[in-house]
Amino acid sequence: MAEIVPAREDMLDEIEAIERLCFSQPWTRGALRSQLDAESHIFLAALHDGAVAGYAGAQTVLDECYISNIAVAPRFRRQGLAEALLREMERECRGRGMAFMTLEVRAGNAPAIALYEKCGFLRCGVRAAYYFDPREDAVIMTRFFNSQAKKD
Ligand code: COA
């Protein structure tokens, strides 16, 4: 049984382990912890039978929401957890009056791009050679809430 909850300090060990498993340039413990500041961040965990199976973190600036990380542990993938995290992120954004939520994704990360498109994100631009290890372009994808570009 999966549920989406606000991330807590005592979940950081599990979140950090998933971060290291999923990314070639993982965020440090301190960077992950900084997202626990709920005034300027939205930090969510997906629990599976009480254990952390995935998470999503974002920083808010005025009415803009910048998603920093989203990951699901390999053995829990394709069960709808990332989609549930993004739906809850959207609900939280709307509650806080955000105009959009946006992120960068590796151009070759087909699973993530399919996820974002399913959740209503639009391709809004490219940052050339944004990533390294390996070098790759970033696609900027944005989910608008209040503009003409809105897609429900
Ligand atoms: N291939 C194609 N589409 C995929 C996919 C895959 N491997 N994984 C997810 N999707 C798309 C599908 O549209 C899927 O809907 P469907 O199951 O109805 O077809 C939708 O995303 C939702 O999938 P979900 O089960 O919620 O995704 P997930 O929990 O498996 O997590 C990621 C998806 C991308 C977060 C996960 O693969 C992951 O952690 N990857 C490594 C970290 C990463 O790349 N994060 C994104 C950085 S920008």
Q: How confident is the model at residue 148 (pLDDT cuts 50, 70, 90)?
A: very low
What confidence category does residue 80 fall into, taking pLDDT thresholds of 50, 70 and 90? very high
Instruction: Say which of 14, 19, 116, 131 is annotated catalytic.
Output: 116
| Residue 59 pLDDT > 60 | yes
The whole-number average pLDDT for the span 136-149 is 86
pLDDT band for position 146 (50/70/90)?
Answer: confident
Confidence tier at 147 by pLDDT (50, 70, 90)? low
Is the Cβ atom of 72 under 6 angstroms away from ligand 1? Answer: yes
Give the residue-averaged pLDDT of 37-43. Answer: 95
Average pLDDT over residues 129-134: 93
Q: What's the Cα-to-Cα distance from 65 to each of 3, 114, 128, 148, rounded to whole Å?
A: 22, 20, 22, 18
Q: State if residue 22 touches ligand 1 by the CB under 6 angstroms criterion.
A: yes
Q: What is the mean pLDDT of the chain?
A: 95
For residue 77, give the ligand 1 atom closest to its CA: 30
104 CA closest ligand 1 atom index: 48
Does 110 score more than 50 pLDDT? yes
